[in-house]
Amino acid sequence: MSRAEDNPGYVDEAYLRLLAELTRPIKARSYALMRAQKGDKVLDVGCGPGTDTVALAARVGPGGEVVGVDYDHDMVSLAERAAAEAGVERWVRHRCADAASLPFPTGYFDACRCERVFQHLPEPGRVLAEMLRVTKPGGWIVALDSDFGTLSVDTSELDVERRLMRLLADRFHHDGYAGRRLYRLFRRSGLAEVTVELFGLPFTGYALMRRVARFDELEALARQLELITEDELQLWRTSLSQAEAAGGFFGSLTQVLVAGCRP
């Protein structure tokens, strides 16, 4: 993932750690779909602070190799520190790289994954082609991403909610609908045995959803663009606060997990 100045979808380490905790079971499923064995070499594209590379270390063991790449130098430094703290730095390494031009030989890895990367990409096909190139024939490629077009909140202010959710999908990521496009992208790439799985991410706490969906930034942008009035904003916030107070707050977001085998 790129830095804040390059990418409006940039988020910091604390935000990524929060998402990692929320999506732990989905992450585990993505690891399983890689079908990595002891001694394998695996790649995590867009590794962030190393949450997944450290987790994958146990799957390949000291005889294998886990490599994480990220566009952000600070994230790579954090990932290297995480590997050292976990005691797996001997077979887990990280480096800065452009996902559209991976610095690895053709067919080097046994499996490759990425998570919440395609939502940031201007050329997703090019990145997937690179993931295929560096993966051995018979190796598995796995991608997990959000479909922000499915983000929703239970509120009486439905019209305001729809305007805000559309703005979030359209303006907070290069492609807020990346999740729904993964299956088509994988099929068109020539990958075999392509599978798709959906995971609902529920939110039953108002404060948590405000943080994850970045409501503070979203509402500020909506007011700046005059997509909602100040009165509408207050009605929206009141409806959510009331739902929380009554113990009935609910929101949700769909995560799409796609896997395919390199021919």
Q: Is residue 7 part of a domain?
A: no
Interval 78-91 mean pLDDT:
97
Count of residues making up the chain: 263
Percent of the chain with pLDDT over 90: 91
Structural domains in the chain (count): 1
Percent of the chain with pLDDT over 70: 96
Answer yes or no: pTM beyond 0.85: yes
Tokens of 98: 């452009």
* Rg of the chain (C-alpha set): 19
Range with lowest mean pLDDT among 5-19, 174-188, 220-234 = 5-19
Yes or no: say if 146 and 172 are a contact pair by the CB < 8 Å rule: no
Which bin fits 2, alpha (ψ -120 to 50), beta or left (φ > 0)?
beta
CA dihedral 216, 217, 222, 223 (to 10 degrees): 70
- pLDDT at 23 exceeding the cut of 80: yes
| pLDDT reported for residue 31 | 97
* Residue 57 or 2, more confident: 57
| pLDDT reported for residue 10 | 57
Q: Is residue 107 part of a domain?
A: yes
Q: Is residue 72 part of a domain?
A: yes
- pLDDT at 3 exceeding the cut of 50: no
C-alpha dihedral sign at 241, 244, 246, 250? positive
| DSSP-derived secondary structure for 158-170 | HHHHHHHHHHHHH
- pLDDT at 145 exceeding the cut of 60: yes
Arithmetic mean of pLDDT over the chain: 94
| pLDDT reported for residue 11 | 66
Q: What is the CATH number of the domain that holds 99?
A: 3.40.50.150
Which bin fits 50, alpha (ψ -120 to 50), beta or left (φ > 0)?
left
| pLDDT reported for residue 9 | 54
| pLDDT reported for residue 1 | 36
Q: Is residue 22 part of a domain?
A: yes
Amino acid letter at 78? L
In whole angstroms, give the CA distance from residue 98 to residue 87.
27
Interval 231-238 mean pLDDT:
98
Three-state DSSP state, 144: strand
Q: Is residue 90 part of a domain?
A: yes
Interval 179-197 mean pLDDT:
98
Range of the domain at 54: 13-147+174-201+253-261
Using DSSP, how many helices (H) and how many strands (E) does the chain show? 10, 7
| pLDDT reported for residue 108 | 98
Q: Is residue 206 part of a domain?
A: no
Residue 100: φ, ψ to 5°: -85, 0
| DSSP-derived secondary structure for 176-212 | TTHHHHHHHHHHHTT-EEEEEEEEEEEE--HHHHHHH
Reported as a single tens digit per residue, the pLDDT across 31-47 is: 999 999 999 999 999 99
Beta strand spans in the chain (E): 41-45, 65-70, 92-96, 109-115, 135-153, 192-203, 251-261
pLDDT band of residue 76 (cuts 50, 70, 90) is very high
| DSSP-derived secondary structure for 206-230 | HHHHHHHTTHHHHHHHHHHTTSS-H
Q: Is residue 233 part of a domain?
A: no
Q: Is residue 211 part of a domain?
A: no
